[in-house]
Amino acid sequence: MGRIGNIINRKGKQDAQRAKIFTKHARLIAVASKMGGGDPEYNATLKNAIEKAKNDNMPNDNIDRAIKKGLGAGESENYEHITYEGYGPGGVAVIVETLTDNKNRTAGNMRYYFDKNGGNLGTAGCVSFMFDRKGQIIIEQNEDISEDDLMETSLEAGAEDFIVEEDCYVVITDPENFMEVKESLLTSKYEFISSDIEMIPQTHSSLDADQEKSMLKLLDLLEDDDDVQNIYHNWQQ
C-alpha cells in the first residue's frame, strides 16, 4: 500500500474509532436525560456526560440529538448500568462499567474477552474492595498556575487530597463533593486534563512482557465494545 493508501486507511480507522467514542457518549447522554431531564443545569449526571463528550470533541448537534432521543425514549430502549469484575493476566484486578440494552450479550462478551486473554470474570465484589471510589480532577502544570493557590482553592472547596505529580496536579474528592469542587475550580478559571468520578486502586500489580501483551489485548477488546463505558485496573504500566 502506497503513502496515500496508508493515509486513507489510517484516517478510516481514526474515523471509526471516533464514531465508537461518540456512540458511547450518546448512549450515556440519552440515559442521563431520560432519567433526570434534559436541562444540564438541573441534572448533574447529564452535565458531566456532556462535558466528557465535549472533551472528546463530540459535535453539539450530536449531543442535542442524544438529549432529544433520551427525552423521547420509550420502553423499547431500556439501558442498564451493569458492573463486571474480574482478573486479567497475572491477576490484575479489573472493573468494567457498562451501559447495555442486552445484558446477556454483554455478559457473554465480557466472559469471552477475559477468557481469551488469560483472565477470568469474577463475581460482584471480587476486586472492587481493592479500589476507592473518588472524584479525580487532573490539571496540567504550567508557569501560570500557583501550586499554593490551586491547593488552597481545592481544599477550601472541600477536596480530600491534593497530589503533586511530575507534570500535573491531582485533586481528590469524595464522590459527594466532586461537583462542588469541580465548579469551584472552573469558576477560578482552571482548565482540566480530565475530571470524573473514578475507581482508584489502593495497590498496583506488575506484569511480565507476555502478560503485558495479553493485558493490552484485553483492554483493546473492552474499549472497542460499545456497551463498555469505563475500565479500571491496577496494572502498574
Structurally, the chain folds into a number of domains equal to: 2
Q: Which residues pair with 82 in a beta bridge?
A: 98
Q: Which residues pair with 98 in a beta bridge?
A: 82, 228
Spell out the residues 6+ positions from residue 136 whose beta carbon is closer than 8 angstroms to its own: 170, 171, 172, 173, 194, 195, 196, 197, 198, 200
Give, as one character, the DSSP assignment of residue 193: S
Asked if 48 and 186 touch (Cβ cutoff 8 Å), the reply is no
* Same-domain status, 53 and 151: no
Q: 37 is written with which cell numbers?
A: 431531564
| 225 pLDDT higher than 90 | yes
Output the pLDDT for position 177: 93
- Say if strands 80-87 and 93-100 run parallel, antiparallel, or are unpaired: antiparallel
- Neighbouring CB atoms inside 10 A of 56's CB total 11
Among 72, 96, 127, give the residue marking a domain's end.
72
- Helix residue ranges, H only, the chain: 3-36, 44-55, 60-72, 103-116, 147-157, 178-187, 209-224
Among 12, 40, 72, give the residue marking a domain's end.
72
- pLDDT tens digit string along 83-131? 999 999 999 999 999 999 999 999 999 999 999 999 999 999 999 999 9
Q: Which of 50-54, 137-141, 160-164 has the lowest mean pLDDT?
A: 50-54
Q: What phi and psi values does residue 75 have, to the nearest 5 degrees?
A: -65, -15
Confidence of residue 180 (pLDDT cuts 50, 70, 90): very high
Among 72, 96, 129, give the residue marking a domain's end.
72
pTM check: above 0.75: yes
* Same-domain status, 56 and 103: no
Pick the closest to residue 24 from 228, 236, 237 (CA basis).
228
For position 63, which CATH number holds?
1.10.10.200
Output the pLDDT for position 7: 36
More reliable by pLDDT, 12 or 143: 143
Residues spanned by the domain of 38: 3-72
* Same-domain status, 61 and 159: no
- pLDDT tens digit string along 197-224? 999 999 999 999 999 999 999 999 999 9
